[in-house]
Structure 1
Amino acid sequence: MWQSAPPFGELLAGCRRSAVHLEMRDHYDDPDEAPRVAAWKAGHLPNPDDRESWWRPWLDLVSETVTRGVVIRRARIVSEPVSEYTRYLYDGTLTNIAAGEQIRWLSRRNASDIALPGNDFWLFDDRLVRFGHFSGEGAYLGDDVTDEPDVAKLCASAFETVWERATPHNRYKI
């Protein structure tokens, strides 16, 4: 059954074992993120020793979820050479890892033979899928959720295949 997605925090709060996220775009245009991107372009990088300067609500939510025993994994399929936005994500990934996410990177060239859904997604406890929809320029257009078993199975299979091939963040070089 397809339906409008509840707030993301509710989805993570209801998660008991695992939450996986597959990102497949080379650019996202998030107005809330624009100041951080501008600061990065000006040379600012998160200081691992100054958590206060970069800790924000998303990282709190991740940390709280991981503390409850939920494993959160994120895989990013990226074009290489990477886009400027991907370099920004790469440089900021230390904050996600500090919050408890596990993150891997896969070159788009190495994903050509993987059956992938048409949109980025989160999969909660291998049963509930939240698809994110974006414009061609990367603007967020909304999302929907489904608990259809065949859709969850496709997403789980796609994610696990990507995860197996992908390089852990600490070994991925851009």
Structure 2
Amino acid sequence: MDFPSWSLGLSLIVLTIAMHTTAVVFMALGLETRFRVQIDTHARDRLHAIPAVIVRIGAVALLLAALHGVEGVTWAVAYRWLGAFDSFTDASVYSLATMTTSETRGITLPARWQMLSALEAVNGGLLFGISTAFLFAVIQVHWQMLLHRSDRSADH
């Protein structure tokens, strides 16, 4: 068993999951506050709300993508610190590719750190799962908001 890779890999998984969930919770709180203000102060119809919905969902997706980038860079720092790569660029490219489980041509990790790479791929699956679930929840809330606006405008 490769104890150093397991301990470092599991530590990085805990760190990046904590980063990710913290950011998602703050995004959710920010969106919830914004929804409450918007629903209480505006009674626009569905057609007028659609551009705002598109912008909000796009912004959430962009923030999640940036968050994945930061988490990939966190793993890249670890690879660089271990001396697994000669440059931070190579470590970053390898890390982001591993996190997304895509292949990198020409950039290889030394054999002694391959377990760490496998753990990063597991971490990527977990992080992308959290992001997908959150984005889906955001879309559902927006859909309900659009339906609510449609019902409200039909009552007037």
- The TM-score, its normalising length taken from structure 1, stands at 0.23
**Greater strand proportion:** 1
Larger Cα-atom Rg? 2
